[in-house]
Structure 1
Amino acid sequence: MKVFDLLSSSVVRGRYLILALVAVAVILAIHSSQNITMDQGYETYFSKDYKEYQQYVLFSKNFGGGVASIYIFIKGDDVVNYETYDFALKLGEEISRIDGIGRVKSPAHTVVDILGYLPADEEVLKQLSYQYSSFYLPKKTLMLMEFEVTADESQYNFIAKEVEKRISEIEKPPGIVVEATGNPMIMYQVDKSIGESMGTMGAVAVVLMVVTLVIVFRGVVELKRYLLLPLVISILTFLFAFGLMPVLGIPLTEITNAIAPILIGLSIEYAAQFMGRYEEERRKGNSPAISAVKSIKSVGLALSLAMITTVIGFLSMIFSGVPALGWFGLVSAIGLIVAYLLSLTFLPSVLLITDRKERKRKDEEKISFTEKVLDLASLISARHYRVLLLTVLVITSASYFGYSKVPLETDFMKYIPQDLPAMRKLSELQDLVGSNDRIIAVFQTDGIDSSVIARFEELARYVTNSEQNIVGYSSLGEIIKMNFDKLPSSDTELQQALEKIPEDRVSRYMQGSSYAIYFTVAPMDWLEFRKLYERVTEEMKFFGIEYPFYLTGDVVLKMFVADLIVNGQNRMTIASFAFVFILLLFVYRSPRKAIVPIIPITVVILANGGLMYLLGYSRTLVTASLNSLTIGLGIDFSIHVMERYFEERRRGFEPEKAVEITITNIGKPILTSGLTMAGGFAAMLASPFPIMSDFGVVSLMAIILSLFAALTVVPAFLVFTDNLNSKNKKEKLDDV
């Protein structure tokens, strides 16, 4: 193709300029990367115009549903004593000085509110504490303190850091242990983990790349100083992509922090394929310039198609509807384009400048284990293709059942490291107080009076009695009845009752003309919850409430996260298949050549789903992208095999011989790129984030399966279709 003729000649003439431009770009990327920001949580999962998320934000703003709390555990042999209570008061006063900290609740503060002072008599402390503040004193060895956080999420890190600092500085009574949890503490610790996780995964990825290149690629590269050149390309790719993130306004999240190992692993493929062909040309006795030019021309199309299909796979993540996943796909796609350009410009420039040693043809070499494996793969694919294809068909059919049964994980808290101190304490807190999953019904009324509150109480009782999975409810009417034994019969009584209830409690249920009812629901999976959500919606309409309303809450958002996973996966998969097929059809002008690379990838997707089911892995927001990712990544291997096979067929070789030559010549580069790619994803196993470590495992399985399919299923299918075409042609001639 003319474009590769122009590119190769430009590289030969401008090799020094290319190196200089890359050096400048590295400096700019390092400088830009200093401005990267971090983000996490629902804001990274839902787009700004997602209606249900906007309703949740509105509820949080109006009713304080988004007002977070920091819980402090005070532990000892017996915490109900003057010394410990006095310490709690001092700690409360110290932490209250932090900007963004609101009301403080604890048994010690309750006692002081009642008496006006802290009594030394422990019997009085116990009586008042257990009577009025039992929630914060679940047992005599544990006291809870709750600090309301009135600041927005942008201040959470500052507040959490200050809380940790002041807890460490204040003098504690003997035998007392103080620990903190709550969303601000968790988010602060998650932010620290994101940065540490990226560094760890990146380091592990580099080590795995070095090991893989040394073991597999040394048979491809004659001069060992070039052994790690593909890794240099990968590291440069990551630097450029990381430097672009602040420019594009993309933050580091639980999902985008995996960019380091993925790009380091994926970027090696293009460099490995180019160097494999370059070394082949050099062993023929060609000069570095001629070898570089021939390599760019020969692998340019295959690399271009491989890059474009992979980019399509990543860009299809934009169709997921999840901002963080879209960011991840966009940065990865840009990184792969950069890796492709570096492999066809920077890499040959380095070789042209440094490669001066003459290469000698080695007629007799000891056959390595890798070569024996590749020979076996070519033998099975070429001579036993019918058995192989039949076996694959059976496995794929069985895998479909498992693929359709893979469960979903929608709980955001299970996506983050479970061993964070704040997460461990949160689990302990939930064990003490139980689950707090709630559907919150928010109504917009014309005005709230005694009759409206009575009507809403009827509704709350009706819905609770109608649904066995709703275990209770909380409302302003219920609070009034608990304090005054009955609902107010007039607006005057209502006003008198509201004046006697703390304002912060009233504001959780009533804001202006808006009214909220909190329904507590039993634990259930997302499908059961969706049915409950739909039934509650219908029951409220059937009851005849004339006011507009919406249902919200954390558990409701989790249900919509499940929707994003299922619908997003379907959209991404369909988009990837469609765009890749159209691209291949446009390039090859042949349905056969467009379909051949897609068949093994379909097999891989179903087989990988079956393995996920057998091994007990769930679909998450990240693994939902696996299908499109597999299409983008796995098709690369198939394209390289198919391109070389057709090249050998054009030279006149029979199908079996073409397969043998193809696997022998490009098997090692494909193995190298595949194993290094697998190493990049395997590095995610070092991530403390379950969402990423699980993604690493299932991606690793997908890559290994894709590699196997490319070296066996693709050539087997090519031989099958070639022989089928020959048979059809022969039958037509016989008929004549």
Structure 2
Amino acid sequence: MSSLLLRFATQCAGWVYILLLALTLGAGAMIPYLTVDTDPENMLPADHPARIFHNQTKQTFAMHDAIVVGVVAEQDTNGVYTPETLSEVKQLTDTILDMDGVIDADLMSLSTVDNISQAGPGTIRFEWMMDKAPVDEAGAKAVEQNISRLPLLYDTLVAETGKAAAIYVPIADKNESYRIAEDIRAAISKMGSQQQWYITGLPVAEDQFGVEMFIQMGISAPLAGLMIFILLFLFFRSLPLIIAPMVVAMATVIVTMGIMIGMGFTVHIMSSMIAIFLMPIAVVDSVHILSEFSDRYKPGENAGEVISKVVSHLFTPMLYTSITSSVGFFSLMLTPIPPVQIFGAFVGFGILFAFLVTLVFMPAYVSRMSDKTLVNLQQALHGEGDGQSRVAAIARSIGKLAMSWRRGWLVVFSALFAVSVWGITQIQINDNPVRWFKADHEIRVADRVLNENFAGTYNAYLVFSDTNAVPSAAALIGVDVPEELSGWQWDTLKSVTEQPPTAALESLIIAIDDAMFTVESDEAVAYLDELVARAEQALSVSKTFQSPEQLAYIADLQQYLATTGLVGKSNSLSDVVKVVNRELRGGEEKDYALPDSPQAVAQTLLQYQSSHRPNDLWHFVTPDYRESLLWLQLTSGDNQDMTAATKLVAQYVDEHPLPAGIDYQWAGKAYLNVVWQENMVAGMLDSLLGAFIMVFVMMVVLFRSVVFGVLAMLPLTITIAFIYGLIGIVGKDYDMPIAVLSTLTLGLSVDFAIHFLERARAIFKETNNVSATLEAMFGEPASAITRNALVIALGFTPLLFAPLVPYITVGVFLASIMAISALVTLLVLPAAMSLLHRFVFKSR
């Protein structure tokens, strides 16, 4: 098949150009339809149980994604409690309330919440905390005193130090968070405030990352292309010649991205790097072809015939390196993370597409080049004096170093491997979308400052549910009904059958009250009296979280979490009940306690619903009181801290069992990040092990030798161990970009080994001498490997200047991967092959 393609390429070059251009333009037409998605929630499949429950929780308790706006007044002795600062808080709050996309009913600010106080014995007053901004220090002091009495708001709206105040801005669509944040920034700028204002929160961090990621895509990919162009020119000194590999790279990137976008896939943080990954990888085969072509070509020869022989000679190693590299990325499709699956699928496709384009376009292009250009290429690579280019001289030096200290290199890399294995055991799995920005980014700074001042801007929800069955209305009515009520029985059952259990009981009680006015017999009246008593008892028991015992359990858990140092603060229905109960009683601190009966709890909640924000109650409990939410505020969004919090809760529940029939589940963005991280790590490990075994089998099949298969896996194994060992040793968190790099290591590390071993075996067939073979290997083959390592490593260097941490991480570690894998290939493989020559080389 390769001969047919080569014949077509060299004899029908025009058609090759036309077909490639048409395909590139067709796919490129899809790119303007690109959509960006940076929501970590989409790292989980839509049907994942944790994601489903999270969205159910948000809907059930009317919880919304929120932007956190904070003002810090460090220099003022009164902190934010001054007429000027409180006036600015009020002014900005009013402006935000008028913005599109803001859920104004749930916005929390000093001017939109109630002050709860005692109006008299047994009565409560609900009045706006700050309906108007205070005009003097006395008014500001009154706000301070009032807020300090409300645990629900203290250290949430105003810091304990009094130096900071916050506005929580709930939004209808988290994809609008960047636009709303920009509008808030503009409003702050217009105020001309003398204080420091900050904006943070996971929604705005994620959406802003999407905006900056889109910009970074448009900068990094062209810069990577420019870097590769410069490197190729330095290597080959021929502008017409290096156009060919650049065409291959550009066509590969455009076609791959165009197909992905055309198929309706969004661009996530991982798929945004597809262009950066493919740009250097796509020119690898071209460099091998140009290097060997320049070695074989002699002035006056037919370029088409020479390039055909070169490609035929390199076809097998190029095919296997492309397949193994793509297998590494295709293995990502085994992970349970949809964006990672898409990334792996399209990078794998891009690698195979680049191989096919290289196989056809390079012969077509080179066969049409002028003799003068080809002579210049040969002189650039081999020089006019000593016959060596700089890259060739470096390769020769590495060869001498490898062969002069063979056993030493094996010992050094064995020790390095052992240390790396220990380093892998030190790896810590952790991620946080806010940390995707550099430390000096405004989002990162705001996150740090506000979490230092407040109880926490990261939210997690603990949902308690009563799984005990509620007595049905039908069971209470029974079948032994007085004859006078038989018609009433069936009408009532018909009306309540389709209602939820608790609502059915409430409807039954109403129906009984109505029936009392119509029955005449003593038997019917007695039956209804007994029935209403049973229904009211069942209804009272069904309202689980009106029970003081249940609320006390949650309050005790809150108190425990407050001592752990992981949870800055928590709010629950217990806090609501305690505050209202205090004001209903004496208003003293000793009255800040739970009532002693469900009826008293119900009374406090009924009073609370007389406030200006009665629907706030349903953020903590469902209307049937069967589910209750505990809102945790964390000062850190790191997965490690969220995981630690879940373990602490689990430990507490083990030591203090929940009441019978009560279960709990986690929800919230901070918790979802933990879930997809755990899925990613497990999925990456499975895909890496599967791909590793598959590549080994392919190596054995390719070389028809177990010995060569093992040798081919040496650079791969040492490189992966070194890179991940280094991550553990330096304390770099194992996050999403780091996890994906394992597949790139697998694919590219074996690439160099395949070329080295295949060429060594071919040269040995000609020389039948081990020393001569290894000496020849540090000529053109080692030069090509060195050029490719430099092209790929330096091709990613534009990422080092990106403002986004994941891009920098990829740039640093890819350069390290290329350097280590090239060194292992050129130092360890020849040393091992020389020392084990009896098993590696078999004389004719």
The answer to whether the superposition gives a TM-score over 0.5 is: yes
The 10-residue stretch of structure 1 (672-681 or 550-559) with the greater mean CA deviation from structure 2 = 550-559
Judge conservation of contact 1:33–1:243 (CA < 8 Å) in 2: yes
| Corresponding residue number in structure 2 for 1:96 | 97
Q: Secondary structure at the match of 1:357?
A: helix
Q: Distance in 2 between matches of 1:25 and 1:462?
A: 66
1:571-582 equivalences in 2 (<5 Å): 571-582=686-697
Judge conservation of contact 1:190–1:417 (CA < 8 Å) in 2: no
Change (3 A) 1:204 1:617: farther
Q: Secondary structure at the match of 2:813?
A: helix
Q: Is 2:319 the partner of 1:204?
A: no
Q: Distance in 2 between matches of 1:438 and 1:229?
A: 53
Q: 1:286 aligns with which of 301, 319, 329?
A: 301
> Across the two proteins, how many residue pairs are aligned to each other?
720
Q: Is 2:526 the partner of 1:506?
A: no
CA RMSD of aligned residues (A): 3.3
Change (3 A) 1:678 1:559: same
The 10-residue stretch of structure 1 (476-485 or 556-565) with the greater mean CA deviation from structure 2 = 556-565
Shift of residue 604, structure 1, vs aligned partner: 1.4
| Corresponding residue number in structure 2 for 1:496 | 603
Q: 1:149 aligns with which of 157, 163, 170?
A: 170
| Corresponding residue number in structure 2 for 1:248 | 263
1:154-193 equivalences in 2 (<5 Å): 154-168=175-189, 170=190, 172=191, 175=194, 179-193=198-212
Shift of residue 12, structure 1, vs aligned partner: 1.8
| Corresponding residue number in structure 1 for 2:584 | none
Amino acid at match of 2:13: R
Q: 1:13 aligns with which of 11, 21, 26?
A: 11
Structure 2's unaligned 5+ residue stretches are 116-126, 148-152, 471-501, 503-541, 582-590
Q: Distance in 2 between matches of 1:193 and 1:613?
A: 29
Q: 2:553 aligns with which of 459, 482, 489?
A: 459
Q: Secondary structure at the match of 2:368?
A: helix
| Corresponding residue number in structure 2 for 1:595 | 710
Shift of residue 673, structure 1, vs aligned partner: 1.4
Shift of residue 478, structure 1, vs aligned partner: 3.2
Q: Distance in 2 between matches of 1:115 and 1:398?
A: 62
Deviations 1:170-228 (A, max 9, x none): 4x26746655333443334222210222233224323432342233x23xx6x453135
Q: Is 2:126 the partner of 1:106?
A: no
1:469-480 equivalences in 2 (<5 Å): 469=564, 473-480=570-577
Q: Distance in 1 between matches of 2:812 and 2:401?
A: 28
Deviations 1:455-492 (A, max 9, x none): 32343356567776376753212320232044345554
Q: Secondary structure at the match of 2:52?
A: helix
Judge conservation of contact 2:737–2:809 (CA < 8 Å) in 1: no
The 10-residue stretch of structure 1 (316-325 or 516-525) with the greater mean CA deviation from structure 2 = 516-525
| Corresponding residue number in structure 2 for 1:391 | 412
| Corresponding residue number in structure 1 for 2:486 | none
Judge conservation of contact 1:255–1:622 (CA < 8 Å) in 2: yes
Q: 1:50 aligns with which of 24, 48, 51?
A: 48
Q: Is 2:683 the partner of 1:568?
A: yes
Shift of residue 109, structure 1, vs aligned partner: 4.8
Q: Secondary structure at the match of 1:443?
A: strand
Amino acid at match of 1:214: F
Q: 2:242 aligns with which of 227, 233, 240?
A: 227
Q: 2:648 aligns with which of 493, 509, 532?
A: 532
Deviations 1:70-89 (A, max 9, x none): 41537696765556545544
Change (3 A) 1:454 1:536: same
| Corresponding residue number in structure 2 for 1:672 | 787
The 10-residue stretch of structure 1 (415-424 or 625-634) with the greater mean CA deviation from structure 2 = 415-424
The 10-residue stretch of structure 1 (131-140 or 40-49) with the greater mean CA deviation from structure 2 = 131-140
Amino acid at match of 1:60: K
| Corresponding residue number in structure 2 for 1:481 | 578
Q: Is 2:630 the partner of 1:517?
A: yes
Q: Distance in 1 between matches of 2:128 and 2:559?
A: 38
Query: Percent identity over the alignment?
Result: 18
| Corresponding residue number in structure 2 for 1:638 | 753
Q: Secondary structure at the match of 2:268?
A: coil
Shift of residue 36, structure 1, vs aligned partner: 0.7
1:67-466 equivalences in 2 (<5 Å): 67-73=65-71, 80=81, 82=83, 85-101=86-102, 102-103=104-105, 104-109=107-112, 113=128, 117-118=132-133, 120-132=135-147, 135=155, 136-138=157-159, 144-168=165-189, 170=190, 172=191, 175=194, 179-215=198-234, 217-218=235-236, 223-283=238-298, 285-357=300-372, 365-366=385-386, 367-382=388-403, 384-435=405-456, 440-445=461-466, 446=470, 449=543, 453-460=547-554, 463=557
Q: Distance in 2 between matches of 1:256 and 1:465?
A: 44
Q: Distance in 1 between matches of 2:72 and 2:556?
A: 41
The 10-residue stretch of structure 1 (421-430 or 468-477) with the greater mean CA deviation from structure 2 = 468-477
| Corresponding residue number in structure 2 for 1:654 | 769
Deviations 1:400-441 (A, max 9, x none): 111221222222321234433233223211111134667633
Amino acid at match of 1:329: G
Judge conservation of contact 2:109–2:167 (CA < 8 Å) in 1: yes
Change (3 A) 1:650 1:84: same
Change (3 A) 1:386 1:530: farther
Shift of residue 151, structure 1, vs aligned partner: 0.5
Change (3 A) 1:547 1:141: closer
Shift of residue 4, structure 1, vs aligned partner: 1.0
| Corresponding residue number in structure 2 for 1:734 | none
Q: Secondary structure at the match of 1:551?
A: strand
TM-score (norm 1): 0.88
Change (3 A) 1:682 1:326: farther
Q: Distance in 1 between matches of 2:361 and 2:629?
A: 62
Q: Distance in 2 between matches of 1:537 and 1:320?
A: 32
Q: Distance in 1 between matches of 2:415 and 2:198?
A: 55
Shift of residue 668, structure 1, vs aligned partner: 2.0
Q: Distance in 2 between matches of 1:158 and 1:437?
A: 21
Q: Distance in 2 between matches of 1:667 and 1:619?
A: 33
Change (3 A) 1:631 1:549: same
Q: Distance in 1 between matches of 2:212 and 2:633?
A: 33
TM-score (norm 2): 0.78
Change (3 A) 1:411 1:82: closer
Q: Distance in 1 between matches of 2:259 and 2:649?
A: 42
Q: Distance in 2 between matches of 1:236 and 1:554?
A: 39
Q: Secondary structure at the match of 1:354?
A: coil
Amino acid at match of 1:202: A
